[in-house]
Every structure is written in C-alpha cells, then in structure tokens.
Amino acid sequence: MRSAPVSVSARLRPLARPLAATLARALAPFAALAVGLAPAASAPAGPARPSPEALAERVLASVPLVDGHNDWPWAMRTHFGLEKAREADLSADPGVRRPQPGHTSIPLLRAGRVGAQLWSLYVPMRLRGEEAVRTSFEQLELVRHWVARHPETFALVTTADELERAFRRGRIASLLAFEGAHQVDDDILTLRRAHAAGLRAMTLTHSQPSALFDSATAEARHGGMAPAGRAMIAEMNRLGVLVDLSHVSPAVMHQVLDIAAAPVIFSHSSARAVTDHPRNVPDDVLKRLPANGGVVMVTFVPAFVSQARADWETRRQAQRLVAGQGAEAEARMAAWEKANPRPVATLAMVADHIEHVARVAGHDHVGIGGDYDGVPDLPQGLETVATYPALFAELARRGWSEANLRKLAGGNFLRVLRANEATARRLAAARPAPR
C-alpha cells in the first residue's frame, strides 16, 4: 500500500528545534546588549544618596568626631581666675562669660556632635621653669575637675578603647594635651609625671623656641631640634604621649619624622600650599605622612586658611610697630583698621585645606583641629563648636564618600592613637623607664 504524501512543513519540522537552539545561542550576546540599553526606568531603583546634611548627621552619629585642639580651659581661667573657673557654669551662653564672645559650652558641644576633644592645657611661654610646670598642672587639674563635675557629659580617657566606649555611652571623651615642652620644663621626669596624671599629647613648642625645639613663628635657635630633643621624642613614644608637630618649624617636622617610632599628629595646622603661613604644613611634609601614619588635623584659624587674612595680619603687625604705644597709637590703629577692613575667612576655605591635605597625604591622614577659644574670631559658618556638621555637609556636597567622612571625623585619629599605644607597649617592654 502506498503511503500518503508528506507536506514540506512536516518534512522540516524535525529540523526546527535544533535550528531554534542554534539561533538562540547566536543571538544571546545581542539580547544581553539590548537589556543593557533598556531605559533606566525599567530597572529597579537603588537607594537614593542622602542629602549632604543627612549624610553629615549619619556620620557624626556613628563615629566620634575628634577635635585636636580647643583652648577653653585657658580662656575660662583668663576670664574668671582659676578658682572661679573650676566652678563656672559650663552650660552658659559663651557671650555671657566674656566681653568677647567665646566659642564653647556644653550645649554647643552637643549641637556640634563633638565626640572627643583634645583639651589644650595651654600656658604662655612667658612662664618658664617651675612656674610653667605648676601652672600646667593646675590646668590639668582644672579639666579633671570639670569632668568630675559633669560625668553625664564628659569622660576622661587615655586610650582609643576608652574613647570609643565613652562615645557609645553618650559622653564627650576628654584627652589632656600640653601645648609646648616648656610645660614640662623640657624635662623627661616631669613628662613622666604628667603622663601619670593623664597627659596623652604634647606640642613640642609654641610661639618661640623651647630649650629643645624651634618654633614655626620665630627665628631658629637649634637648626630644628637640639640634640637632647631626640631623647624627648623617644620618651614620648615609649610613654604613648602623642608627638604634636603643630607650632614647630619645618626643620623640626622633618627631623622628628626621621626618628619617630609612632605616628605623629598636627593638632591644629592647615596646608601651606593653600595659605602661605608659617604655621601651616608644607607639601613635602604632607607627602611623608603616609610612611609615618600620622594625621594633620586641619584648623579653622582665619589667618591659616585665608591668604588675604594672612597678608592683612602681616600689614597690621607692621602698622602696629609704626604706631607705637599710648592713646594716640591706639587711635591711629583704629583709623588704619577702619580704612583696611579685616578680610573674612569662610567655611569653604577650611574645606579647601581639608581637601588639599587629603589629596597630597591621602584621606587616611586628615582630621579636624578647630582651635576654638584660642583665637578672637573664626570663619563664617564655623563661629562656634556647634558648627562642625555644616563642614561635613559641605564636604559631602563636594562628593566625599561616607567612608572618607568617617575617617576625617575620628577614624584616622583613633588609628593614630592605637598605633601609639601599641608602640608604647612594645618600647616599654624592651626599654623600661630608668629608676
């Protein structure tokens, strides 16, 4: 019997599946490309980046904001005297305390989200020897007394772990810092005594050379560091006292970086390439920070962040020399200042310095050191310690990531503090203090 005729479509049907599979494999790359070119609206949206202000608040709520320098203890002592400063109302409006408005109070610290503060226990360099030491320890005890009076607000800390624990408990971690080795009479035994009382950072000098270190703002006396300065640096490293290179000459900066066994800090300095002021840090020093591990805590001092302000202050100092002393001299100075208004520094200028340090030294080597209550005025937008969030919001607007904002706020300082603690343990085990 003859079979029925088969249609063309029926004869091709067995070939359809292999052909379809082959075509699918051949067209797969083009299908993927088509998906990639599809309108963005067809893909699920990711989380929106928070506003700069919200990002700043999130960062400061999650990591302690560490400020490297605040002169509130000396400002209060200057205004009230030592005994009244001990019992002064730390919550009072700063404008009520002094004829010239201050910058710090407990409410302002809270508003500024300050998590940790290196309190400068400054005493002027006109005090020397035993008088400088006695006054320095009085300042140390003043801050300890404040902390004891306000345990709901402050916690005295000496380690990174204690700092973070205080922050988690809602306290402002308080570290004690001297502003010049003259405060220990350039003496290692006195340094040990201060360390035992809680000292954890020390600037090497201030506005003039000390017995061991040259200043950034005076004629050199030692060509940088005196030979005995090496022993002071070594002992600070052994004790775990942070070596603070603010106020020293560039020669001292380099010489200390040559020998330091632990990361250094600049507690309140800015970038010299942005504002040519002798108190700022040159780029050749910034470039060495990654190898040392240290941090520049950018300051807000108007003359350090504004070139116009720095130049104005130089002209004003020259005018003061010409004017002389007395009532007529003061009248001449007032007339000069009226004819030559003081240039205004701004928050944006401070952000420029922070970005320069981050660009040259790296985001791991920049922090904040306002110098509140150590200068008569601050940049617009940074008038009191309540304004730190505005600075972080400005950097967020400039594209700073949350990770880098966290480093700036306190992550970098905590790393430096921990490294100094580790170095101190290692050196103390290898080289105990002489008896």
pLDDT in tens, 161-188: 999 999 999 999 999 999 999 999 999 9
The whole domain housing 297 covers 52-306+344-430
Residue 390 domain flag: yes
Q: Which range among 150-154, 166-170, 295-299, 316-320 shows the weakest confidence by mean pLDDT? A: 316-320
pLDDT in tens, 189-235: 999 999 999 999 999 999 999 999 999 999 999 999 999 999 999 99
Residue 328 domain flag: no
Residue 393 has pLDDT above 50, yes or no: yes
Distances (CA, A) of 96 to 93, 146, 307, 353, 382: 6, 19, 32, 32, 19
Q: What would the mean pLDDT of 22-34 be, rounded to a whole number?
A: 43
Pairing of strands 199-203, 172-179: parallel
Contact status, residue 423 vs residue 262, Cβ threshold 8 Å: yes
Residue 333 domain flag: no
Query: The whole model's pTM is what?
Result: 0.87
Residue 236 has pLDDT above 50, yes or no: yes
SS3 call for 111: helix
Whose tokens are 């003259």? That residue is: 182
Residue 266 domain flag: yes
pLDDT in tens, 110-162: 999 999 999 999 999 999 999 999 999 999 999 999 999 999 999 999 999 99
Residue 98 domain flag: yes
pLDDT at 327: 87
Distance CA 249, CA 256 (A): 11
Mean of the per-residue pLDDT values of the chain = 90
Residue 102 domain flag: yes
Residue 248 domain flag: yes
Distance CA 338, CA 218 (A): 29
- DSSP letters, 209-271, are --SSB-BTTS--SSSSB-TTHHHHHHHHHHHTPEEE-TTB-HHHHHHHHHH-SS--EETT--B
Distance CA 157, CA 171 (A): 11
**Total of domains in the chain:** 1
pLDDT in tens, 68-93: 999 999 999 999 999 999 999 999 88
pLDDT at 30: 43
CATH number at residue 111: 3.20.20.140
Q: Residue 97: pLDDT band by 50, 70, 90 thresholds?
A: low
Which positions are catalytic? 69, 71, 179, 206, 247, 268, 371
Distance CA 99, CA 158 (A): 34
pLDDT in tens, 407-426: 999 999 999 999 999 999 99
Residue 339 domain flag: no
Q: Residue 23: pLDDT band by 50, 70, 90 thresholds?
A: very low
Counting every residue, how long is the chain?
435
Higher pLDDT, 325 or 68: 68
Positive or negative: CA dihedral 310, 312, 314, 316 = negative
